[in-house]
A and B are shown apart, each in its own frame.
Chain A
Amino acid sequence: MDHRRAPRTVIDPKVRHVGFFTPPDRSQSVPLPPSSTSSPPLSNLSPSGTSLSPVMIPPPRHTSDLITVPDGFAPTRLLSPLQRFSGESVIPVGSYNPSEFASPSVGDFFEEKNPRSPGPRRSRGGGGGGSGKVASSLPAGGFEMPVEVKPKSLTTVSVVSSLRPNVTDKVGEQSIESQDGSGANSKQPLKEKTSKAERRALQEAQRAAKAAAKGGNGVVNMKTGKVNNVQKKDNASVAATFEKRVVDHKDKDRKKDVPHPRMQFDDATRVEKAKKRAIVKQTEVRNRVELFRHLPQYEHGTKLPHLEYKFFHLNSNSVHPAVYKVGLRYLAGDISGGNARCIAMLQAFQESIMEYSAPPEKALNRDLTAKINSYVSFLIECRPLSISMGNAIKFVKTRIANLPLTLSESEAKANLLSEINNFINEKIILADKVIVRHAVTKVRDGDVLLTYGSSSAVEMIFLHAHELGKRFRVVIVDSRPKLEGRLLLRRLVGRGISCTYVHINATSYIMHEVTRVFLGASSVLANGTVYSRVGTACVAMVANACGVPVIVCCEAYKFHERVQLDSICCNELGDPDAISKVRGRDEVNHLKDIADNENLQLLNLTYDVTPSDYVSMIITDYGMIPPTSVPVIVREFRKEQIWSS
């Protein structure tokens, strides 16, 4: 069905439909016969009900918003062939869609006065109709707007002006503005006009919605009490959406500087743009695996010298030296592990905030956000962000945004610094202690504990259990190319814990003697999926098959509300050389001379996802929870992060 696409061409694509808004195409594709519509009186109101296909917009819940403005122009380009064909018989039932009504007061009855925005859309159904009408009905209110019967052709503007006297003050302002917009539009070609007018209307609506949200719906005309009640809810949600959108708009210019954290790297134009902005110059690897083309992969070793060189040519306001240093260390691989990276980043931010002073004409919280954004984009260039870092950045930004404007600069800075300090202490360091306390209760005498790779939380658990005098043995499973397990092995053996070291190939053999599997995680997603170092899923699956409980230790700040089903869509690609070559062993480096062969694609994944079925328990700072409870924690945690200040 082509007409599914039709509304898209009309709607400003930036409007996202969230919540319970009825998507416009749904009702479009399921045309209701006029008799079944929820407001039969409307069809009576239609002046030319018989010949004209009555364009009805019977929103099931929001009857007062009925507007039908079939204007003259026949937007055939918007119609699917089918629709055009059945133009007379099909009665597209316009859905109520707050975003398309978008007008200052969705709860306001007078929104019909701004029919510019809905106008062009209405025309879809009534393309064949001769006259336009503005029909409105109120189910309960008893207030009815006079039905405007207008001759065809672009009636929208005149409707606006004719109705303006009714408008309450605030709305009046807006409609003046909007009229300006539409006036300008009339000089332009039709196609242009619709879209522009819409965009215009949307912007106003957003502004108004914001105002309404702030002023407690002061704009809303209260004549239609009951309906208003129904709509207030909507209004609020619309307002919320729009508020967000408005903020987006404001940030738009700034956002241009920041590449999207999950940019699709198979989009050539975007990559091009991103490259122009990039501070770090890096060349991309040529032969990439088809499925992973959307992920960035750079040739190793090209960035670091360049960056080091560039350090002395920095202009003062782009990247703070502390951030620069951290970025370099990410790049070199000096700092790895979710917690270490996150703490390093936060401390760099602290340092930069300490030395920050707002430019005279700018507000601190706006300018600082921009600063942080530019730092973050630099860090992304060095190494893609981990989810834990993303959460920490979100935290810092909300804290900056929530700073009271009354604070002086030094107070604000002190406030921020202590907030970040608290975050590091409570969410990372203290959280780890709590996790250790919970986890040692699951270690019994005689246990054989298996871990994969090197997780700081798991290491602490082992050490603490050892301190408590529990008798247990540790199996460390490791894998090429990073061989992180060796460091862990060294530290554990140094403390006198009896360890076994195997490579991941031997997992299935060793698993039979294991009684518990402890794993770290880079992140835990809302469906309980564990996002962790590549190989974790394999270990967890083998453990599950052998009936060994799998325990994932992860601080709650690493939880994310995203859902991920595979490890393809979001991942990080490592250096392909790392798997094609073995350093120091020339006799096995058979791929040396064909590394650039286009038939050879090397894939060095960094992360993988473990489905929640294989996880018996997740230990967080909120206690031991089943993987199904991750969304609960995410909900509570977010609440705390956003509202408590």
Chain B
Amino acid sequence: MWWRSASFILDRNDNPPQPESRHLTPPSSHMADTNPNPNPNPNPINNISAYYQTRAAHHGVVTSDWLAQAQAAVGRDQPSDSDTSLKSSASEKPFSVIEEFNNWRKQPDLAEAVAAIRALASVIRSSEANTIAELQSELKSASDSLKSWDRTSISLTAGCDLFMRYITRTSAFEYEDFNSAKSRFLERAEKFGEISYKARKIIAMLGQDFIFNGCTILVHGFSRVVLEILKTAAESRKVFRVLCTEGRPDRTGLRFANELAKVDVPVKLLIDSAVAYSMDEVDMVFVGADGVVESGGIINMMGTYQIALVAKTMDKPVYVAAESYKFARLYPLDQKDMVPAARPIDFGVPIPSKVEVETSARDYTPPQYLTLLFTDLGVLTPSVVSDELIQLYL
């Protein structure tokens, strides 16, 4: 029935055959000018998720596909109009959210959402508004421009939304004079930034309790939270072993294994297709998340869903480590029901232009395949996510 299903139609719509053939291995001549644009402001049209560009830049994974991507960005992207408009607005105003955001974003340890939160806080700080309404609308437009900077990043959108909810959720504003209200805004903003910044540490403390001596942990993708948990566990002298998936296409697993080897944790690398093969020696699965959705499921790097399925079949617990600013008011019903985030894939050989390539960068894991979520709000079952979201947003 596949030809009748909507997903097929969607596939056809979403993947217009690209004109150039998919020689995704870049010619070496381009190696020189692959200075990745310091301020990439990708259009959603050009099929490359900015979220993954940021991650790649942070992780220093300069692989051939990354180069291809950068090349594509240089070649195909005429300097996008939204970028220039932002620039012009920045020249009028002394302050631009995006610049601030980019400044924060350069810190490799800082998550994108935290950078956004910090940037929004500095919007308040440098605001010249005279009324609360003005300040709020200024914040709103700032967060909107941040969100439109990258629509594929769930945590960025969710972080901005949560920030807006968090700082505007006091009813006492009407009764105060503007300055004290503004300082309260700022106070709350900084507090929120602080909470978000510390989230990883809290999760690490909560999560490491679940690691027992002698256990084997399967890890998929490069999640800084998961790394933090494992590091914390290793520091508290727990003896455990980690299996890392390779994490195609950007090979995040290699880097993860590298990081773990630095702290003397025994690591074994698997190719992505060996998950089911080695699942019987695994005691638990740890994954991060790009976003936690309202159903309690997660959106994460491609491959998480199949690992969760295999783990569920073999009765192994699947633990998700995610900061609460990744909680998003989304509710995907199936895999295609998401904002598409594409990422080029390097197959190493030329691929005929007639052949389609699935370039989606992430998948959705429904809540019934997850055991627990480690968040800075505590260790939650998937169904609590919705409770928290309802309480935050209603």
Contacts and interface: CB of A to CB of B under 8 A. Distances in A.
Given A516-B333, A549-B334, A629-B383, A622 B6 contact: no
B294 interface: yes
Interface in A508-548: 512-513, 515-516
Interface residues of A, number: 24
A448 interface: yes
Nearest to B383: A628
Interface in A437-466: 442, 444-448
Given A625-B386, A628-B383, A446 B329 contact: no
Contacts of B10: 444-446
Nearest to B367: A626
Contacts of B347: none
Given A442-B337, A616-B333, A632-B391, A515 B5 contact: yes
- Going nearest first, the 9 A-B pairs with the smallest beta carbon separation are A446-B9, A628-B383, A629-B386, A624-B331, A549-B333, A446-B6, A515-B6, A626-B295, A632-B387
A609 B390 CA distance: 25
Given A633-B390, A636-B394, A623 B329 contact: yes
A445 B337 contact: no
A515 B7 CA distance: 9
> Which of B5, B6, B7, B393 neighbours the largest number of chain A CB atoms within 10 Å of its CB?
B6
A146 B387 CA distance: 53
B73 to A, nearest CB: 29
A617 interface: yes
B1 interface: yes
Q: Decide if the interface of chain A is mainly helix, strand, loop or mixed.
A: mixed
Given A626-B383, A626-B386, A629-B390, A513 B6 contact: no
Interface string A605-645: 00000000000110000111110110011001000000000
Interface of A: 442, 444-448, 512-513, 515-516, 549, 551, 616-617, 622-626, 628-629, 632-633, 636
B193 interface: no
A623 B389 CA distance: 10
B333 A625 contact: no
A445 B6 CA distance: 7
Given A617-B331, A636-B391, 11 more contacts: A444-B337, A447-B6, A513-B1, A516-B333, A549-B334, A617-B333, A623-B294, A623-B329, A625-B294, A625-B390, A628-B386
A626 B334 contact: no
Interface string B373-394: 0000000000100110011011
Contacts of B5: 515
Interface residues of B, number: 26
A633 B337 CA distance: 25
Given A442-B333, A516-B333, A626 B390 contact: no
B6 A448 contact: yes
Interface string B1-28: 1001111111001000000000000000
Contact of A512 (B1, B8, B390, B393): B1
Given A442-B333, A445-B9, A447-B6, A636 B295 contact: no
Contact of B394 (A447, A622, A626): A622
Given A512-B1, A636-B390, A626 B294 contact: yes
B261 to A, nearest CB: 40
A624 B294 contact: yes
A551 B333 CA distance: 9
A617 B7 CA distance: 19
Contacts of A442: 333, 337
A264 B126 CA distance: 68
Nearest to A449: B6
Contacts of A622: 390, 394
Contacts of A636: 390-391, 394
A560 B178 CA distance: 43
Interface in B198-220: none
Given A622-B394, A624-B294, A632 B331 contact: no
B368 to A, nearest CB: 9
Nearest to A631: B387
Contacts of A446: 6, 8-10
> Which of A445, A512, A622, A628 neighbours the largest number of chain B CB atoms within 10 Å of its CB?
A628
Contacts of B6: 444-448, 515
A447 B331 CA distance: 17
A252 to B, nearest CB: 38
Contacts of B334: 549
B253 interface: no
B296 interface: yes
B4 to A, nearest CB: 5
A319 B333 CA distance: 49
Contacts of B295: 617, 626
Contacts of A629: 383, 386-387, 390
A442 B10 CA distance: 13
A429 to B, nearest CB: 19
Contacts of B7: 515
A465 to B, nearest CB: 13
A625 B9 CA distance: 27
21 contacts: A442-B337, A444-B10, A444-B336, A445-B6, A445-B13, A447-B6, A515-B5, A515-B7, A549-B334, A617-B295, A617-B333, A622-B394, A623-B329, A623-B390, A626-B331, A626-B367, A628-B296, A629-B390, A632-B390, A632-B391, A636-B391
